Chains A and B, each alone.
Chain A
Amino acid sequence: MRITCPICGERDRREFYYRGAALDRPDPETGQEAWGDYVYLRDNPAGRTRDLWYHEAGCGSWLVVERDTVSHSVLDVALALDADA
């Protein structure tokens, strides 16, 4: 699996740390239920998903990677700063 970092270009998967699903962070005041869902519950799709990767051995950027969990193909990569995550 190779991921194309918007800053560094195409790199081996080993350069990246996987964080998990890219989710919208709830408002701090939304209460325990929303935060419990955000921290623990996952759609966990078999197919297209968006997750957060950290370019640990590269530029140190957080990336939102759109990929397919069944085929392992990487479809799109954006800086988390720019992504509407």
Chain B
Amino acid sequence: MRFSGLRVLKEGLTGNRGWTPHWRDPEPKSEYDIIIIGGGGHGLSTAYYLARTHGLRNIAVLEKGYIGGGNVGRNTTIVRANYFLPGNSEFYSHSLKLWEGLEQDLNYNVMHSQRGIINLFHSDGQRDAAARRGNAMINQGDDAVLLDRDGVRRFAPYLDFDNLRFPIYGGLYHKRGGTARHDAVAWGYARGADSRGVDLIQNCEVTGIDIEGGAVRGVQTTRGAIRAGKVGIVVAGRSSQVAAMAGMRLPVESHVLQAFVTEGLKPVIDQVITFGMGHFYISQSDKGGLVFGGDIDMYASYAARGNLPAVEHVMEAGMTLMPMIGKAKVLRSWGGIMDMTPDGSPVIDQTGIDGLFLNCGWNYGGFKAVPASGDCFAHLIATGRPHPTATGFRLDRFRTGHGILDEEGTGAQHNLH
């Protein structure tokens, strides 16, 4: 079924009776060429690009819950390419380009909205850092504009520019950044993969990985054993547990990151705004809710819910930056489990076990990476070589110390990102 304006009109006039499920609900077969463990955004996009770009068909995605029920449906939906380090920069640039063609490619409305992102700065030093970052973004071929106070004021007059402690000096404006509808991204990739023959198997938890003679042979699941010569692990939040099934320990510590949404309001925040002196970022959904978040809770957790100190910090940061949101009622908050790596950058690599591939460690930046992560992981699985934009995401960079990707510059150590 193809979506089009004409189709929407026709269905609207005939009682919307012609819509069909977006994907099948197949029984697992006993063998596939490739198994992707994890039906989140990255797993679905991996399966999609394996089918679309590499023409592979005999693929299963195994999801322990349901499609769209994990972190892909629990984030603040921000899409950007404002990275600085070689190794990260080209990858996120590649991802943003894929985002820009995604709706046409998937024939699915993911509500990708390039409304712009403004990263505020509050001191001369931060202005210099923003200018440097902006130059790196432009060198990568992406866009960045350094705004002064009046430049920011034109976009966001409601900010507390003269806050005594954290006055706003300006902002780095990334025009092609924005947001997307997170659920639709999962659904669009799921539909695209399914229509190319990929079996999406939900409620199917992997309980073991079969390895013989240093090569992967398949997986054990709650729905029986499934054989495959190639297996990809893409299970952010649970990476350590699944990797342990293959006898691996990862450079990952799991942390909870909370996010919040308010009641629906009239349009008031047109861009994505981030605070430079506290961890706070905010945008307004098309439904009107203010969607915002902050930092991780800062201790290892699998609870998928946070504690109040982090909530308090986020609310304080929001009130410091834009006091006007003080009367908005918070409707919901939620927590997602993040794979935190020592340098804050991900891993897309082989594992040392033949046929077993690993995609993990997205920290709190996985959503914007969904297209490129899938594209690059599919490339690695299909060809055995890293994609040109993802050569830096090596698993061994911590052991060797070579190629550490510490974007924040805080040091490659757990608990610093």
Interface residues of A (CB under 8 A from B): 1, 12-14, 18-21, 32-33, 36-37, 39-46, 49, 51, 69-72
* Cβ proximity bits B401-417 to A, threshold 8 Å, 1 near / 0 not: 00000000000011100
Which of B240, B253, B302 is the one whose CB lies under 8 Å from A70?
A: B302
Contacts of A71 in B (CB 8 A): 303
Are A44 and B253 within 8 A (Cβ)? yes
Which of B253, B399, B415 is the one whose CB lies under 8 Å from A33?
A: B399
Interface residues of B (CB under 8 A from A): 238, 240-241, 244, 249-254, 298-303, 307, 309, 342, 398-399, 413-415
Contacts of B252 in A (CB 8 A): 42, 44
Contacts of A72 in B (CB 8 A): 301, 303, 307
For residue A85, give the distance in angstroms from its CB to the closest CB of chain B.
16
Are A51 and B300 within 8 A (Cβ)? yes
Are B251 and A14 within 8 A (Cβ)? no
For residue B203, give the distance in angstroms from its CB to the closest CB of chain A.
19
For residue A21, give the distance in angstroms from its CB to the closest CB of chain B.
7
Are B253 and A20 within 8 A (Cβ)? yes
Q: A20-B414, A39-B413 are known contacts. Are A44 and B307 too (CB-CB below 8 A)? A: no
CA distance in complex: A13, B249 (Å): 29
For residue B121, give the distance in angstroms from its CB to the closest CB of chain A.
27
Contacts of A39 in B (CB 8 A): 342, 398, 413
CA distance in complex: A33, B401 (Å): 11
CA distance in complex: A43, B243 (Å): 10
Which of A18, A32, A37, A40 is the one whose CB lies under 8 Å from B299?
A: A18
Q: A33-B399, A44-B240 are known contacts. Are A69 and B303 too (CB-CB below 8 A)? A: yes
CA distance in complex: A46, B399 (Å): 24
Are A18 and B303 within 8 A (Cβ)? no
CA distance in complex: A21, B299 (Å): 10
Are A18 and B298 within 8 A (Cβ)? yes
Count of inter-chain pairs, beta carbons less than 8 A: 72
CA distance in complex: A44, B249 (Å): 9
Contacts of A46 in B (CB 8 A): 238, 240-241, 254, 302
CA distance in complex: A64, B415 (Å): 16
Contacts of A69 in B (CB 8 A): 254, 300-303
Are B298 and A41 within 8 A (Cβ)? no
Q: A46-B241, A69-B254 are known contacts. Are A41 and B301 too (CB-CB below 8 A)? A: no
Are B249 and A43 within 8 A (Cβ)? yes
Contacts of B414 in A (CB 8 A): 20-21, 40, 42
Contacts of A20 in B (CB 8 A): 253, 300, 414-415
What are 15 inter-chain pairs, A to B, with CB distance below 8 A?
Answer: A14-B309, A18-B299, A20-B414, A20-B415, A39-B342, A41-B250, A41-B398, A43-B249, A44-B240, A46-B240, A46-B241, A49-B300, A69-B302, A72-B303, A72-B307
For residue A51, give the distance in angstroms from its CB to the closest CB of chain B.
6
Which of A1, A37, A40, A42 is the one whose CB lies under 8 Å from B240?
A: A42
CA distance in complex: A36, B415 (Å): 16
CA distance in complex: A49, B298 (Å): 15
A71 to B, closest residue via Cβ: B303
Q: Which 10 A-B pairs have the closest CB atoms?
A: A44-B240, A40-B398, A40-B251, A36-B399, A18-B299, A41-B249, A46-B302, A20-B414, A20-B415, A69-B302
CA distance in complex: A1, B299 (Å): 11
A21, A36, A51, A72 interface centre (most CB from chain B within 10 Å) = A72
Contacts of B240 in A (CB 8 A): 42-46
Contacts of B254 in A (CB 8 A): 44, 46, 69
Contacts of A32 in B (CB 8 A): 399
For residue B50, give the distance in angstroms from its CB to the closest CB of chain A.
28
Contacts of A14 in B (CB 8 A): 309
